[in-house]
Amino acid sequence: MNFNDQWIEDQLLDRFLRYVKIETTSDRHKDVIPSTPGQWDLLNLLKDELKELGITDVSLDKHGYLIASMESNIDDVSQPPVIGFMAHVDTSEDVSGKNVKPLLHKKYDGKDIQLTEDVTISVKESPELKRYKGETVITADGTTLLGADNKAGIAEIMTAAAWYLKNDREKHGKIEIIFTPDEETGKGLDRFPIEKLNSFCCYTIDGDIAGTIEAECFHGYKAEIVFNGIVIHPGDARGKLMNAITMASNFISMLPRNESPEATDGRLGFYCPLGLSGGIEKTEFELLIRDFEYEEVKRRIETVKQIAKAVEGMYPGGSVEVSIHKQYSNMRDFLDKDPRIIRFLEKALEKEDMKPLKKIIRGGTDGARLSEMGIPTPNVFTGGTNFHSKREWIAIPGMIRSVRSIVQLIRLWSEER
């Protein structure tokens, strides 16, 4: 295949730097999808860019799902399976994504990157940086996140599509490109028009360091807990006041500290307090429940309910309401549909001289939701890391490898009949 890395780099930089400057922070407190107007700005831009590439089948629906189809250029009655590539337009609300100022560290010197007095990207904490000494590394300016999660994935999918359309003699089957809103809120596929997709399988380009393949993630659930107290003047409160804030604080203190995100890694799940708001009469609490095994999720859900009962016992007259909401399933349970889905991905990386690095996702992706809908969807690297933080960074060589791997993957599937 005739790769021109300088052309790929130019395409990537032009697109990525343009995309990260658009504020697309999502808001988990809003029910509308997309949850923020900035996501529409990027979606509409991508819609126009896809059409400018020459892709005529492009649709953007009222919920912000952008789906484009590159028709097969294989002149044969027998066609290869349709495959898709997906990325999300929103960025995490954990750190501001407003007024992102990307910095290009050309010929990176291999040392710690000092962004501000308080923000340093250290080689010790990001040893992957050592691979890119002498190359171009991109960061934000230390006041915001960069947005490589997932605008790097968007830029890489767009560049791979542009490469195939530029090299129109390269044969490919039908390819579907999907850009989604609100992945970071866990609501990204709540209203997804699955009937519009023809893909046999799909790949989210939403992973981190070069070579990474992720085919397993958490089972994700969220508990919404309401504490109902009894209000009376504090001066006359003895034996009468039931303070919802105190009820909530007791509940939180009873959660196992050794099963928190900060105390676990690897295959260990956790409880993660997400938000607390309210007053003496009523306090609301959001809690994430995560594990790789469904039986462990069920155990944690039962623990939450038992703690709620214990708090009610401590505060006679007060009440605790627990609502459990499923967010996504472990994609592992759906990827056994066809061994080619992972085998071809590994082969594509090997063709680019990368040893596939299999990792588990201590989180979830739209790919987990799409897998559950019937389209198996593993996750593939973008070349960045330190997502959701001011220390986020991505390297141009990693992004180029992502584009080349997508191209190789399309080629492998296009040879299937």
| Spatial CB neighbours of 327, under 8 Å, sequence gap ≥ 6 | 186, 220, 221, 222, 364
Q: From CA 342, how far away is CA 346, in angstroms rounded?
A: 6
DSSP letter at 80 equals P
Quick one: CA dihedral 301, 304, 308, 309, positive or negative?
positive
| Spatial CB neighbours of 77, under 8 Å, sequence gap ≥ 6 | none
Catalytic residue among 93, 176, 182, 183: 183
Q: How far is CA 268 from the centre of its chain?
A: 20
| Spatial CB neighbours of 387, under 8 Å, sequence gap ≥ 6 | 92, 145, 148, 149, 208
Cβ contact 155:181 at 8 Å: no
Instruction: Give Cα separations from 212 to 342, 349, 357, 381 (angstroms).
Output: 12, 9, 5, 5
Quick one: CA dihedral 350, 376, 202, 136, positive or negative?
negative
Q: Give the strands of the sheet with 201-205, arranged side by side.
A: 57-60, 66-70, 175-180, 83-88, 201-205, 379-380, 212-217, 357-361
Instruction: Give Cα separations from 203 to 64, 80, 133, 388 (angstroms).
Output: 19, 16, 30, 21
Which residue's entry shows tokens 């992973």?
207
Ramachandran category for residue 44: left, alpha or beta (phi over 0 → left; psi -120 to 50 → alpha): alpha
Instruction: Give Cα separations from 83 to 194, 318, 406 (angstroms).
Output: 14, 53, 11
Phi, psi of 10 (to 5 degrees): -60, -45
Q: Is the peptide bond before 150 cis (omega within 30 degrees of 0)?
A: yes
Q: From CA 408, how far away is CA 417, in angstroms rounded?
A: 17
75 is known as an active-site residue: no
Q: From CA 303, how far away is CA 299, in angstroms rounded?
A: 6
Cβ contact 300:258 at 8 Å: no
76 is known as an active-site residue: no
Catalytic residue among 23, 90, 182, 214: 90
Q: Which residues are catalytic?
A: 90, 183
